[in-house]
């Protein structure tokens, strides 16, 4: 998570906004409410949509 935060632009409000979004996503993963999709499926869907 720290690497992701470090890669974000250094503009006012970004750190706080992305921190909240990351917290939200981690909580959704941990409580099972997030729909997790394997990377290979995501890329296959993207490739299919580009055709």
Every domain of the chain and the residues it spans:
13-50
pTM of the model: 0.55
12 — pLDDT class (breaks 50, 70, 90): confident
DSSP annotation of 21: H
Q: What pLDDT does residue 33 have?
A: 97
Higher-confidence position of 16 and 45: 45
pLDDT at 5 over 80: no
In angstroms, the Cα distances linking 49 to 31, 39, 43, 45 are: 31, 15, 10, 6
What's the chain's average pLDDT? 88
pLDDT at 48 over 90: yes
CA distance 47 to 38: 14
pLDDT at 43 over 80: yes
* Vertex 25: Cα angle to 24 and 29 (nearest 5): 120
């Amino acid at each position: 998570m720290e690497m992701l935060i470090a890669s974000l632009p250094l503009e006012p409000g970004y750190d706080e906004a992305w921190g909240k979004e990351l917290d939200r996503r981690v909580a959704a993963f941990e409580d099972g409410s997030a729909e997790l999709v394997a990377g290979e499926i995501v890329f296959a869907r993207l490739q299919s949509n580009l055709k």
